[in-house]
Structure 1
Amino acid sequence: MARTKEFDPDAALQAALELFWRRGYEATSMANLVEHLGIGRASIYATFGNKHELYLKAVDRYSGERDPLLLTELSQPGSALPAVRAVVRRFASEAASPRHRLHGCLITNTAAELAPHDPAAARRVEISWEHFETLLHSALVRAQAQGELPEGRDPRALARMLLVLMQGVRIVGKASDDPARVRDATEQALSLLG
Structure 2
Amino acid sequence: MLKSPLWLLIFFLTLVLADQKAKAPLPPPTKLLGGTIRAAPNCDRKIGANARITVHYKASVWGVKELFENTYKKEPIVYRLGRDKMLKGLEQGIEGMCVGEIRRLLIPADLAYGELGVPGVVPPNSALVYEVELIDSLPPWKNPWFWIGIAGFASAYYIVDKKTKGKDEIKASKFLESKLAAGKEGVAVDNVAAATVTEGEKEDSAPVKEKST
The answer to whether TM tops 0.5 is no
Q: Relative to total residues, which structure has the larger strand share, 1 or 2?
A: 2
Q: Relative to total residues, which structure has the larger helix share, 1 or 2?
A: 1
Larger Rg: 2
